[in-house]
């Protein structure tokens, strides 16, 4: 696996679950550099615990095809290394496929990188032409943003024309490893850099008593973390590395969009046994938190 982004990690998890021996070559010094170090460390330990070999700081310089496999040549710590593999999946990112669309002839402006310029209503430099999805250069793993793009255009064509991209706030995302890592809002690092005085609620899933579903499905790996504004009790962000994280992060995002405080999420009544019950336990820990 050449690349350690979302796709690289997801497909590494998939093929390892199929029984393949998987090696990930990651150019960065660590995985998931956007996340807080504690969350990234747990995620990396889960992947390594599943038997995925993670080679960080690796710059792949060459791939040599053979009759029954290939050889990967990479530099690490100033030295050249090689490894024999059966197959290679390149997951180093994608580039926009807009250059052959004849956009210049249509009068549609693009950036130097080939991104189509569009306003908050998704109108391009030609008002009757709209741009939706990845062609605008947005994060390319967010299929649901493309879906929302279609709603904005539909509102322009058949509605009141009020819906815009600025309406999209607190958008969650999920890395589908096993268990999944779902995040929304600010990390602890980002919140502190923004000047917030924060309290942190964080617990390993295995220690969250009020989350019986994790034990029922025998998946207690992971951690849950909430970043709370110490003065307002506002939920600034969350990172959920747990069973069902891809679902329960939507509840957190909805609460954040509507100004529901951490205490309200903590004190709500949830169905049993479910993963959302974890809120009763983990958010109670902010009462004990003592963050500067």
Per DSSP, the three-state class of 23 is strand
78: alpha, beta or left? (left if phi > 0; alpha if psi -120 to 50):
left
Q: Cα(190)–Cα(43) distance, rounded to whole angstroms?
A: 19
Six token digits for residue 231: 């003065």
Residue whose entry in the numeric block shows the structure tokens 């008593």: 209
Catalytic residue among 81, 128, 258, 272: 272
Alpha carbon separation from 248 to 184, 197, 231, 239, 278 (Å, rounded): 11, 25, 25, 11, 10
Alpha carbon separation from 208 to 116, 256, 259, 278 (Å, rounded): 46, 22, 25, 6
User: How are beta strands 181-185 and 173-175 bridged, if at all?
Assistant: antiparallel
* Residue 272 among the catalytic residues: yes
Six token digits for residue 172: 């969650």
Q: Cα(242)–Cα(251) distance, rounded to whole angstroms?
A: 14
Q: Cα(92)–Cα(210) distance, rounded to whole angstroms?
A: 39
Six token digits for residue 251: 């509840």
Of the CA atoms within 13 Å of residue 106, those in its CB half-sphere come to 17
Of the CA atoms within 13 Å of residue 167, those in its CB half-sphere come to 11
Which residues are catalytic, by number? 272
């Amino acid at each position: 696996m050449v690349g350690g982004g979302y796709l690289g990690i997801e497909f590494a998890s998939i093929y390892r679950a199929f029984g393949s021996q998987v090696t990930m070559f990651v150019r960065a010094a660590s995985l998931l550099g956007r996340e807080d170090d504690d969350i990234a460390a747990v995620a990396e330990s889960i992947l390594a615990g599943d038997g995925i070999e993670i080679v960080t700081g690796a710059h792949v310089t060459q791939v040599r095809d053979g009759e029954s496999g290939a050889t990967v040549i990479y530099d690490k710590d100033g030295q050249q290394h090689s490894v024999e593999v059966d197959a290679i999946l390149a997951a180093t990112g994608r580039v926009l496929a807009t250059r052959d669309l004849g956009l210049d002839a249509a009068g549609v402006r693009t950036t130097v990188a080939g991104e189509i310029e569009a306003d908050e209503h998704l109108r391009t430099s030609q008002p009757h032409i709209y741009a939706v999805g990845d062609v605008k250069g947005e994060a390319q793993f967010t299929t649901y943003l493309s879906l929302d793009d279609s709603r904005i255009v539909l509102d322009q064509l058949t509605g009141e024309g009020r819906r815009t991209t600025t309406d999209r706030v607190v958008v969650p995302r999920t890395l589908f490893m096993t268990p999944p890592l779902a995040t929304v809002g600010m990390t602890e690092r980002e919140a502190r850099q923004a000047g917030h005085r924060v309290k942190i609620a964080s617990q390993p899933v295995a220690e969250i008593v009020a989350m019986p579903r994790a034990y029922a499905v025998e998946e207690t790996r992971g951690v849950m973390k909430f970043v709370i504004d110490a003065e307002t009790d506002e939920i600034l962000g969350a990172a959920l590395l747990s069973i069902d994280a891809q679902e329960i992060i939507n509840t957190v995002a909805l609460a954040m969009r509507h100004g529901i405080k951490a205490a309200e999420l903590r004190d709500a009544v949830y169905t049993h046994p479910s993963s959302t019950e974890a809120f009763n336990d983990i958010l109670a820990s902010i009462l004990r938190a003592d963050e500067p």
